Structure 1
Amino acid sequence: MATTDIPLEKKVDIAASFIGDSFLRVAKALRKLQDDDPEIFLKVAESLGISRRKAYALARIDRQFTELGVEENRLYVIGWSKLQIVGRYLTDENAEYLLQLAEQHTSHDLEVLLRGETPVEDAKVVQFYLALKDHTRLRAALVKYGAVVSGNGLAKTEAALMALVDKAISTT
């Protein structure tokens, strides 16, 4: 029976049964669905409560690391988040190096290292919950003080925030 002969509901049931087991099984199922029946790939992901971005990332993780022959146990230890990060830079030649980096660093530090920067030692996390208008104002201020628009987010926010803080302190 061809994959296209299986009703959407059955495919959702099959993929849903993988969710509790491991992300690699979900990744493999999503990749197969993406390859065999791409027109319902996103419908199944949505039905499972997986965002478009995560569905594509999981399918790509399976594709990349299966082709490289990396042991599943190693991938489980690293985790899907870090595999997604190193996957952006992955080649046959640098795979082992990137996997070692992922094993030794947090997701944040891994991102920083792969941008060619040095992670801040003993860094502290600051998280804000802002109203849209306040977020817009903060974003504009950070850009004014050196942050760089990158996709939907900003890069170099830490340096920009500290420049803004320095300015505020120097004027008081």
Structure 2
Amino acid sequence: MTRTIKTGYHHPRMLRHAGSFNPVRIQSMHYQSGRHIRLELTPGRTLYDALVEPLYKIGVTSASTTILGGYFDHLEYCVAPPDSSGKAVIAYSSPIDAGEAFMVFGNATFGKDMEGRPLVHCHATLRTETGQVKGGHIVPQASVIGPTPLSVLVTAIEGFELRQAFDEETNIPLLKPHRES
């Protein structure tokens, strides 16, 4: 059987990380329970503030979230093309202004940055102000929720936390599981 690649499809690319090889590809931890929470994110606030503040108030500092979609008065996102310097596989682009946009669906991971501050890492599919469908890394501090609340399903991580740390293999900071300190 002969396979052909249809016009318009990209060829897969071989990715080799620039750093030292780590044979443990997926780092994971497990805990017996975790709270499930439904949040309504407040219009007019940034995605960052609307997510971080209510979770911190109930003692959640690490979580996995599903954003069920909604309007943004302003939304910015980045993409992760290959790193032209060769220091890593990817390098984030400068923020791209999507204007007034609609988030079709998103997932945000909530943890702590290298200084211990709250960090929100969000991937989403969106429709831009001009009607284009795009995807990428949402800039939570610059993206302002529109006129209606956004529904978010949260699974709190308990028994360990997610902390950003430099990864020797990828040469970029990643969120990794750590025992709570």
- Common topology (TM > 0.5): no
Report which of the two has the higher share of strand: 2
Greater per-residue helix proportion: 1
- TM-score, normalised with respect to structure 1: 0.21
**Structure number, greater radius of gyration:** 1
